[in-house]
Chain A
Amino acid sequence: MKAKVTVTLKSGVLDPQGRAIEGALKSLGWKGVKGVRVGKSIELEVDEKDPQSAKAVVEKMCEKLLANPVTEKYQIEIITDR
């Protein structure tokens, strides 16, 4: 089963990349842009049959390795084949 993990910085954590991108977007004319945050997207496949157990496995991966709980939060999307 495929999963997509999005890791982003927690809201209080300064994001210099996001700030620089926001500045660039403003200078390109999008004056109203705000709250730009940069994260990581990780795609993976796990050997699980149902979405619930896949999500549980990926959650453990996030806690242990994929995200740093001090600075980052994560979102898991399980991609079920249609």
Chain B
Amino acid sequence: MKTAVLVFPGSNCDHDCYHAVRHVLGREAKFVWHQETSLDGFDLVIVPGGFSYGDYLRPGAIAKFSPVMGALAKFTAKGGLALGICNGFQILTEAGLLPGALMLNSGMKFICKDTYLRVETSDSFVTGRMEKGKVISVPIAHMEGCYIADDDTLKRLEDDDRILLRYCGPDGQTGDESNPNGSYGSIAGVLSEKRNVAGMMPHPERVVEASLGGVDGLLVFESILNSLSAA
């Protein structure tokens, strides 16, 4: 498993993602500057969190035109696996690699806290090691994390089993009280049509060791590793 961690001006979770793959999983990882034009030779591309281009205009709106994004479009068109986390999710939706959009939190505040997430499908490269219905605890840290999409898109996501995770309570119940940002259907993460591109607002890379306060994020990285070694 050889992982590329993309780095844009303003990325700030790139080192956390690198640490999770390189030091916790013990696999090869490399930072790839956004000016690069090739992602050949990688098995996985992580688009990390942060504030690419200062979130100017809209989060991800300018990053989507970085040269590496052209390479990412080619990489994913060939079936390569890509995971966008937080700002990475925003970039992937802006780039059209994932459906929908991420809007200002309904409470209009930056929220940084642990959230419970319910696994909605096991049929994905990021949740393959988790049973449907399992509840994990992973922190969020964002201002624009309210997931929205038009009704047709939402229906297609449901019908195709492409909703990865939903915000929930500790018991797995979804509802307004456990929806931190107003996302439609409490959606915290989605998959692309071909299931090889995933995006999520919560930060699994922040909970990969007990010393960081949790290990539930490791399940995401282990799922990726598992799906790559099974391929």
Interface of A toward B, CB cutoff 8 Å: 12-14, 16-17, 20, 65-66, 68, 70-71
Residue pair A16, B107 in contact (C-beta under 8 Å): yes
Residue pair B182, A65 in contact (C-beta under 8 Å): no
B148 within 8 A of A: yes
Interface of B toward A, CB cutoff 8 Å: 57-58, 61-62, 65, 93-94, 100-101, 103-108, 146, 148-150, 182
Residue pair A68, B182 in contact (C-beta under 8 Å): no
Q: List, in ascending order, chain A residues with CB within 8 A of B58's CB.
A: 68
Q: Which one of A12, A13, A71 has the highest number of Cβ atoms from chain B below 10 Å of its Cβ?
A: A71
Q: Which one of A13, A17, A20, A70 has the highest number of Cβ atoms from chain B below 10 Å of its Cβ?
A: A70
With A65-B61, A68-B101, A70-B101 as known contacts, state yes or no: A17 contacts B148, CB within 8 Å. Answer: no
Residue pair B106, A65 in contact (C-beta under 8 Å): no
Q: List, in ascending order, chain B residues with CB within 8 A of A68's CB.
A: 58, 61, 94, 101
Give 10 nearest A-B pairs by CB, closest first. A70-B101, A71-B101, A16-B108, A16-B106, A16-B104, A68-B101, A68-B58, A71-B103, A65-B61, A13-B148
Q: List, in ascending order, chain A residues with CB within 8 A of B94's CB.
A: 68
Residue pair B108, A17 in contact (C-beta under 8 Å): yes
Residue pair A16, B101 in contact (C-beta under 8 Å): no
Q: List, in ascending order, chain B residues with CB within 8 A of A70's CB.
A: 93, 100-101, 148-150
Not counting A68-B101, A70-B149, a sample of 10 additional A-B residue pairs whose C-beta atoms are within 8 angstroms of each other reads: A14-B106, A16-B105, A16-B106, A17-B108, A65-B57, A68-B94, A70-B100, A70-B150, A71-B103, A71-B148
